[in-house]
Structure 1
């Protein structure tokens, strides 16, 4: 069968549709009767929140200490962040390890962050290791601080390097920016990580005093959520957290809301590398009613900025940042451009974006729809285990029901009028501070002025293969997904979880590759036509009902499949199922809508290409076979061809329905049978036997290094990538290990050099290929050293000895990634979609997580040697010609 152009495989059409009927049983309509957490207050002042979720295997432990940057003096800025580093990675435990070393053994992953209000430490582990992890968290609150001069100096150097990596030469300008928008001496008026000047003056005595005064049980809250019982948590906490002795705690420094006028307009140079505008608005305290309302508006503004970026693709770069902390937050909207002449226009575009949001919330119908979508957004955030644990830390003292019901009730209490009033009041022109942005003076330069190198004896990952194997062995082997087949041949996969959401996907086994080469748009146009039913038809009513829930349907077309997907609250499972059924089973292709459907497909392709990040554009041009952009056309296709394509491919026996999330099993099965089990042609017709499609070889890279003059003279943009061998597409564990080890290697290079940007690793799906891409920006003055370090890192990964040394540090996060978010309906559905596509068993990912400890280092070394070979590697460098010459060396062994 002729293949379609590979370019079209990237198409994703987003359409709002509707769903539902009430003829069959429906799930309960409230989350309010579902307790989600229990709060335990200990006499030492520590608060424990216990939130079991036995639908998953992993346990999330979060601890928040009210010891953020607001509590440090301006001349000691960075003290909170440095104290976090000292207590985690410098203080010895009784066995000589640090908390960082121990968490590397007892957790699948961990992290710590310091912001304006608090220090948060989080770890993902399993129930068997919970007592040990809680014991490590207790050590953080013990008040001990026997740090040696060498350990202190090392962690201070790491903090200074992190500052440089995060903000680079923009650090001083960012400090000026905060000083300009906050009143003098306000606790949020300085960079939370400090500056070079302030951090370099800090002493071990400063850090130990801060730890003793603020890292106390009475200043902390701990959340344990996920795959552990209430009794297990309480027993572990009784042995570790409760025995902590109470200690006096210094009071939290007050951070009053910003009131009164600040300079309405000023110019600032050096905050970035381009011209532009920033609009800054003070917001109400986050824990107030007005503050919660403002956060909903901020979410809407962020989406509006994303829409503006697509509309002005290539002309403007938009971003949004929330400044300060919970008690006096500010919202900064940024629009940057490439020339000084465009700066005035950038301000106009920001105001136009805000006007769009105000118009939407002022329209009662649109505002009501937005509020319905917000219910889904709230549930989407809270179904992730780490996000849920983070939200539990904000529970009020008397809360016993949990965060989901509380947040949904708050949205239900809102009115469109209240939303409109808040938008008008908060984002009026006279409320804004306008900052005109300019790049730094060329004479100053934007390269690193100094570099602090962490010593060579930096803490190595303590996790050995034996420890990783033990941890994985303690993960239950149960498989919660089930598969069955309806009488008409439809395969159904049900994957229940405790999620408040349900993700429904109907996969039709036909895509671009099933259409003639001369009609490459056949599959997406057929699918798109189904979204335009006759008015008042059953399909139209189903779509309208779905729209009323705030849900939406995404249509994606791949070379070998078409996926109809919708996601909404579990209480609307019946509407979600009937909505997709209304499109695929009951939908009709109207001849008078052919032009509309073709134009929709054309616009989706064009918009997708415009929205592609630079790394994907570079990758597309670096492959030898990646479609012809000139082939895009919106000409309508003949109706007989459209009808025949649907009749041949849209049949139950060639389709799979996936339902993942917190659905009621009996309700879901009843609606599945009623909607998808009916005898409706062509849906119920037998599937004709066809010869298997020929294998499609993946494109190859155009090897070698390309150097292109870049716009910014102070940095070099690097893109390096290789195509994953097709035989590994079914071996997710190996691919994830390859990616993780590359991430670790490039991260080590960044830390060693102190470069301010660094390189990250992503996985790109395009042109019927899976491509691993390393990309990022490196200071031009350090580019040659970075290339040399990257080549040395790659050389280590080409040897079994080097892989064996680096493998333990990669196994844990890979295993965690394969097992994490077991309550996330979208992640579950994504994985089941992959299993359907690759024809793999339902327990594949659980088995893969166990197999990551059995990976042969020699086998991985062979894969690295092959993948990083010059003939399989593309390298593109953008930057000043005098600095990009080392790029030619990067692909070489």
Structure 2
């Protein structure tokens, strides 16, 4: 774990994905040359345009019976005039709330066909909608997208607007209430001057949304969401010959609208340095510097991006090396480029080590940057940064859709640059970057005045509460115009074809589990050890996790810095992580670099140094990270929940790290953990590779086949009896003054054997809390508008099945929200069981989405490891369709009622006690005020 893995950084990085690649041959021990990699990257596609101006792009990828459908509208928040901020984002929500021929929630229709990777997002520069559907449902998906493009406004009523306004307000509250959540308003408001398209945030002004009339909203749509302002991309199991007539059929009759000319803007320049001091619920001072820089289409983009990586983006970055590893005056650093279409932001951040003077860190930050800007990076630094960038994009090639798959890559280039091959030109630019180009770009842009935002621990200013919309469900249907288009049937859908799994072993008996995926030249390996957090004693919570973090922090041959540099040269990712029941060392390698990447993995697994210096550094990071978790309401609740469910002495019964224990961990503790738990007789290797097993196994044998266990006795986990769940509900209240939202988390342990058939309960719970359309979410989000999202779900671990409800809600509705969830759960388990429609929709969704669930090597690897922990057969996922079909309304109701007890919940509520305690008192449950763990 490099940098600050346990604390969420406050700056979002931007990444672009790349496409298909065939493996070049390579001499053993050498990294494949970057130009060779880049030349192989290609997303072959065709394109055509309808008479109404709709641009259509088709990419064929027949590895799975799935097609990604993505529609990008050339409109974002930068195009909003004064007084209409937030309109683009509001329409992202409205376009999921039904159209004239598809009334109700769009997620209903997506789940009926088993869609995966579906969502919609709004940025400063565009709005997009995407879903991956089984091939047989492509025509239905095109009908759906065309209906909300050409037949939406008849379904947009005042009730719908009021409802989604409330949802957006809670989305804003949820983001704002997080530590550092208010920084964005200072950032965009100060970096971009008034009148600049990026001066306001995408979520916009709640006052503007509250003032919007129904006609204002409809006119916004008419002016900007026509087919001539859109790009449709189909990527996956489809040909142009199949796509063209369907696109013509469903989109061809939609009339063109006014042309939306995206707002133009220059890169602003601050006339002098600007400093903003803020306070918030943070555990350390955070120093952030921002410079306005050119946007996505500028020739210097790649140079600035690589410059940021070398400075503070790579694990081996200069700021990491100097401020974190060597001087230890920062617990984390970052540098990143966030490019928008017209301009971008170059950011450098330092998270000050508690007890260190922030002024000292600020001064050192400036000194390091001045030297770096003056001299530029070395050739080796540039090569490592470019290899990391290119290999990261290659790993995104497998997916046809989702947030960053091949379809989105083509759409992005077409919308922003008018060039669907923009990704290819960008990669070529990265491959050609020189240290001189980086130095020139940084000298031009980073010697200008910067905006500095310093976020220090303290009380944040009073929150400017958004007006709460009065949501009245009844008028939601008033005035709806019904359409007359015929919904097309769904065609034949393919069954899941899970790839064959091969079991073998190395000469020392270490089991190997292998599957092949040939889509991209990538090999993913997981060495699984039977340890995990459950191996921690109650007095040493966090030992296993911190030990795994230390593995890649240095070996006897390589320092932490050298481990990071080696990974970057190879385009490999060696990581060590910890779960509840297992500990893992993972390798994600470019297959041409597999041999040297395995050398590094071998070194990390068998030769961890556990240097005192690294232990001290990670100890500070862990303690600071836990202190930061105490500032976040939902994380506070989740840290307390395991002890509530299992008891403090159960292997699952503690938070993932106890500060008192972490302060005492010594090198001997980590060495002892390694000797007892990270050993060949407690290990199993899982592999998904484009190479056949016959080529991979000798590489594993050479490194791990002769690995012998130490003389130390193997560790044994002791599971005490799982405690009985509560027989009466109660509330544990944790005070967080000033919070605009409350976080409600409720949990209980289910009387389900984790290794038994969990399908009936999981399917029933999809109706209650497991999907967007669940009763809990639809009630609190879509009907009442009190939350941005509610979920209730079980998680199956080796020895237990906990069930957790999570609901961030607006503070003034905390009591009512908890009462509503209780009522929903009680009615679900008694008088209002699952309906035939809910059963049919849920079963169809679970069956039809199976092929799309295992599109990537990573998803396949996770499934293989899960089956191993729960002792399931290799064909487990292929048996699921028949199990789903066998479920009836009666069997699902029975499964839910046998497992879930509405009286068995312990509710943890984190929020402003002064505001919410009177609300909770009305519920008649015992209330205990507790401190955060």
What TM-score, normalized by structure 1, do the two folds share? 0.76
Q: Describe the SS at the equivalent of 1:377.
A: helix
Are 1:722 and 2:748 counterparts?
Answer: yes
Aligned partner of 1:258 among 242, 256, 267:
267
Deviation at residue 428 of structure 1 after TM alignment: 4.8
Aligned partner of 1:784 among 804, 815, 818:
815
Q: Deviations over 1:745-767 (max 9, x none)?
A: 14531444433666556878999
Alignment of 1:223-242 (within 5 A): 223-229=233-239, 231-241=241-251
Aligned partner of 2:858 among 807, 822, 826:
826
Are 1:614 and 2:619 counterparts?
Answer: no
Q: Does the CA contact (< 8 Å) of 2:496 and 2:850 recur in 1?
A: no
Are 1:742 and 2:764 counterparts?
Answer: no
Alignment of 1:637-652 (within 5 A): 637=668, 650-651=680-681
Change (3 A) 1:641 1:181: closer
Q: Does the CA contact (< 8 Å) of 2:384 and 2:565 recur in 1?
A: no
Aligned match of 1:880: 913
Q: Describe the SS at the equivalent of 1:826.
A: helix
Distance (whole Å) between structure 1 residues aligned to residue 94 and residue 433 of structure 2: 45
Change (3 A) 1:119 1:527: closer
Q: Describe the SS at the equivalent of 1:75.
A: coil
Are 1:285 and 2:287 counterparts?
Answer: no
Change (3 A) 1:796 1:276: farther
Aligned partner of 1:664 among 685, 691, 714:
691
Distance (whole Å) between structure 2 residues aligned to residue 611 and residue 720 of structure 1: 22
Aligned partner of 1:152 among 142, 151, 157:
157
Distance (whole Å) between structure 1 residues aligned to residue 667 and residue 286 of structure 2: 42
Q: Deviations over 1:504-543 (max 9, x none)?
A: 112345668789999997999799789976659xxx9999
Tell me which moved more, 864-873 or 279-288.
864-873
Are 1:451 and 2:469 counterparts?
Answer: yes
Which segments of 5 or more consecutive residues in structure 1 lack a partner in the other structure? 1-10, 13-19, 461-469
Aligned match of 1:7: none
Change (3 A) 1:434 1:126: same
Are 1:415 and 2:415 counterparts?
Answer: no
Aligned match of 2:867: 835
Q: Does the CA contact (< 8 Å) of 2:780 and 2:787 recur in 1?
A: no
Change (3 A) 1:541 1:138: closer
Change (3 A) 1:674 1:286: closer
Deviation at residue 838 of structure 1 after TM alignment: 1.9
Aligned match of 2:121: 113
Aligned match of 2:13: none
Change (3 A) 1:127 1:145: closer
Q: Deviations over 1:90-123 (max 9, x none)?
A: 6413x87886765454452543333332221212
Aligned match of 1:68: 76
Aligned partner of 1:570 among 586, 591, 613:
591
Q: Does the CA contact (< 8 Å) of 1:601 and 1:634 recur in 2?
A: no
Q: Deviations over 1:319-378 (max 9, x none)?
A: 9999994213446789999xxxx9997798678678778888955344543333223332
Q: Does the CA contact (< 8 Å) of 1:819 and 1:846 recur in 2?
A: no
Deviation at residue 624 of structure 1 after TM alignment: 0.6
Are 1:164 and 2:186 counterparts?
Answer: no
Aligned match of 1:466: none
Q: Describe the SS at the equivalent of 1:369.
A: helix
Q: Does the CA contact (< 8 Å) of 1:59 and 1:126 recur in 2?
A: yes
Q: Does the CA contact (< 8 Å) of 2:530 and 2:582 recur in 1?
A: yes
Change (3 A) 1:788 1:484: closer
Distance (whole Å) between structure 2 residues aligned to residue 404 and residue 276 of structure 1: 34
Tell me which moved more, 48-57 or 276-285.
276-285
Q: Deviations over 1:450-497 (max 9, x none)?
A: 32315247589xxxxxxxxx9798233322233132473433312314
Alignment of 1:810-821 (within 5 A): 819-820=851-852
Q: Describe the SS at the equivalent of 2:157.
A: helix
Q: Does the CA contact (< 8 Å) of 2:747 and 2:805 recur in 1?
A: yes
Deviation at residue 581 of structure 1 after TM alignment: 4.7
Deviation at residue 24 of structure 1 after TM alignment: 10
Aligned partner of 1:326 among 309, 323, 341:
341
Q: Does the CA contact (< 8 Å) of 1:90 and 1:152 recur in 2?
A: no
Aligned match of 2:572: 551
Q: Deviations over 1:597-627 (max 9, x none)?
A: 9879978976775675423322244241335
Change (3 A) 1:419 1:669: farther
Tell me which moved more, 345-354 or 873-882.
345-354
Q: Describe the SS at the equivalent of 1:391.
A: helix
Q: Deviations over 1:109-139 (max 9, x none)?
A: 5433333322212122111111222233234
Deviation at residue 549 of structure 1 after TM alignment: 0.3
Distance (whole Å) between structure 1 residues aligned to residue 877 and residue 914 of structure 2: 46
Distance (whole Å) between structure 2 residues aligned to residue 363 and residue 486 of structure 1: 45
Aligned match of 1:198: 208
Aligned match of 1:799: 830
Aligned partner of 2:700 among 657, 671, 675:
675
Q: Does the CA contact (< 8 Å) of 1:757 and 1:777 recur in 2?
A: yes
Distance (whole Å) between structure 1 residues aligned to residue 668 and residue 455 of structure 2: 50
Q: Deviations over 1:162-205 (max 9, x none)?
A: 33112259799987875554333333334545534433554555
Aligned match of 1:30: 37
Aligned match of 1:92: 100
Distance (whole Å) between structure 1 residues aligned to residue 832 and residue 164 of structure 2: 31
Q: Does the CA contact (< 8 Å) of 1:440 and 1:446 recur in 2?
A: no
Distance (whole Å) between structure 2 residues aligned to residue 819 and residue 321 of structure 1: 36
Aligned match of 1:40: 47
Aligned match of 1:187: 197
Change (3 A) 1:71 1:806: same
Q: Does the CA contact (< 8 Å) of 1:63 and 1:121 recur in 2?
A: yes
Change (3 A) 1:516 1:182: closer
Change (3 A) 1:850 1:885: farther
Distance (whole Å) between structure 1 residues aligned to residue 671 and residue 272 of structure 2: 66
Tell me which moved more, 162-171 or 524-533.
524-533
Aligned match of 2:143: 135
Aligned match of 2:647: 624
Alignment of 1:145-544 (within 5 A): 147=154, 151-168=156-173, 178=188, 180-192=190-202, 194-229=204-239, 231-241=241-251, 243-244=252-253, 247=256, 249-261=258-270, 264-265=273-274, 279-295=289-305, 325-330=340-345, 362=376, 364=378, 365-384=380-399, 385-386=401-402, 387-388=404-405, 389-395=407-413, 408-423=427-442, 425-428=444-447, 430-432=449-451, 442=462, 446-456=464-474, 474-486=493-505, 488=507, 489=509, 490-499=511-520, 501-509=522-530, 535=557
Q: Does the CA contact (< 8 Å) of 2:794 and 2:803 recur in 1?
A: yes
Deviation at residue 256 of structure 1 after TM alignment: 1.1
Change (3 A) 1:434 1:886: closer
Q: CA RMSD in A?
A: 5.6
Deviation at residue 818 of structure 1 after TM alignment: 5.6
Distance (whole Å) between structure 2 residues aligned to residue 849 and residue 748 of structure 1: 29
Q: Describe the SS at the equivalent of 1:827.
A: helix
Which segments of 5 or more consecutive residues in structure 2 lack a partner in the other structure? 7-24, 479-488, 630-634, 928-933
Distance (whole Å) between structure 2 residues aligned to residue 175 and residue 524 of structure 1: 36
Tell me which moved more, 429-438 or 56-65.
429-438
Change (3 A) 1:124 1:231: same
Q: How many residues align?
A: 839
Q: Does the CA contact (< 8 Å) of 1:107 and 1:123 recur in 2?
A: no
